[in-house]
Amino acid sequence: MPSFDEPVPPPWLIDHDVPVTERAFYVEEFRGDTVVVALAQPSPAVIESVARAAEGLEAGGAHLVAVVGGDAADLAAGVPSKPGVLPGPDGVPDASWLADLWLAIADGAEVIVSVPAGRELPVAADLAAAMRARKLVVTDPDGGWGRPPRSFADLASHADAFSAQLADRQGGRVVAAVRAALDGGALNVNLCRPEDIDQELFTFDGTGTLFTSGGYMEIGPLRVDDLPAVERLVDQGTADGLLRPRSRQDVARLAVAGLGARVVGRDHLAGIVSLEVEAYRDAGVGEVACLYTVSRFSGAGAGGLLLDGLVDRAMADGLGAVFAVTVSAAAADFFARRGFEEVDHERIPAEKWTGYDEDRRASARCFWLDLAADPAQGSLDL
């Protein structure tokens, strides 16, 4: 497989049953699938991102269909396999045109479909639906939904907010494309900036928003039968040095108040998190404790769903803020990207440091989020 200068996966998101890099994981995840990407006239940076994504998909026997509004020659020349350019359909693609496209996909790893400028989104959505493609990637200069972008959204739960808040994106074409692809049978849709395509597809955190219809993951309170799995996740995080040591009593107490993320229709946990409130009740804030996610599900929004659910719980409890403490550089970067403010240790309630290991404290970094200032954001704690 091609060599890329990609970072190793954040250890707090590693699935220890699958010890692979993020890119290698997604090479296998997309194996044999077709990914449709909608692009306006691509810049050199966009062409580079698409080329890297195309190589990753090709390494796993997957197929890229890039629908380009305007001149597609530069993109065709910039993709290493030098795919041919297929003129787009006039209007809704008929069976004969689709048959030509299906044959082109079967015979090569990448296909570029050229359409008039401004037509790339509706055509790409139609093609994703007609092919029952695994994924459609909708690109927009403003990137994903929200600031910072939420990692995952189920349109069955967020339809009205999605339509209202993204209504102005490309004259409504972004909303229409996402809906048309999902309604037509595409499994999911990513929304990101065009220059971020490779990072959106091949990293656990991504850069934009993954949309599904009907939900791929669900969260809910942890059950007593989950405790052995919770203990295993906590033990692994502790062994990595990412979670601080806790007694079995502490782990069980966290589980009592914890949330779990699961793939719909499957019983095993994809991630856990708990909100610590009692120690900080006088201050009116909460600490997010013991977040750990299994990497194979993080791209489907396990971490994002846990975060959203935790913030909902914190707000329902009337908390004014949540804080995060971590010794992981990768986690610290994640907090910063999601709008957290890095603060001094003194900003954190003193109760946090009671009995805290001094060596660990020396490398700990603290992050703070005022819920009243931006209730849409979440928090994490390792």
Helix orientation angle between 173-184 and 120-131, rounded to the nearest 10 degrees:
10
pLDDT at 142 over 90: yes
Q: How many other C-beta atoms can be found within 10 angstroms of the C-beta atom of residue 62? A: 25
Q: How many other C-beta atoms can be found within 10 angstroms of the C-beta atom of residue 249? A: 8
Tell me the CA distances in angstroms from 285 to 210, 320, 335, 347, 379, one per residue in order.
30, 6, 17, 12, 12
What is the percent of the chain with per-residue pLDDT over 70, rounded to a whole number? 86
Three-class DSSP category at 138? strand
Q: What is the pLDDT of residue 267?
A: 67
What's the mean pLDDT in 54-77?
93
SS3 of 164-206: HHCCCHHHHHHHHHHHHHHHHCCCEEEEECHHHHHHHHHCCCC
**Identity of residue 46:** V
Q: Which residue has the higher pLDDT, 31 or 302?
A: 31
How far is it, in rounded angstroms, from Cα 15 to Cα 371?
31
Q: Which helix (H) or strand (E) holds 35?
A: strand 34-39
How far is it, in rounded angstroms, from Cα 115 to Cα 86?
9
What's the mean pLDDT in 288-298?
71
- At 149, the pLDDT band (50, 70, 90 cuts) reads confident
Provide the residue ranges of all domains of the chain, joining segments of one domain with +.
Answer: 11-212, 217-370
Burial class (CB in 10 A: 0-12, 13-18, 19+), 235: middle
Of 56, 52, 14, 5, the residue nearest 330 (C-alpha): 14
pLDDT at 115 over 90: yes
Q: Which residue has the higher pLDDT, 377 or 80?
A: 80
Question: CA angle 294-295-300, nearest 5°?
Answer: 100
- At 6, the pLDDT band (50, 70, 90 cuts) reads very low
Of 328, 316, 325, the residue nearest 259 (C-alpha): 316
Q: Are strands 285-293 and 321-326 parallel, antiparallel or unpaired?
A: parallel
- At 312, the pLDDT band (50, 70, 90 cuts) reads confident
What's the mean pLDDT in 40-53?
94
CATH superfamily of 217-370: Gcn5-related N-acetyltransferase (GNAT) (3.40.630.30)
How far is it, in rounded angstroms, from Cα 245 to Cα 239?
9
What's the mean pLDDT in 158-164?
92
CATH class of the domain defined by 11-212: alpha beta
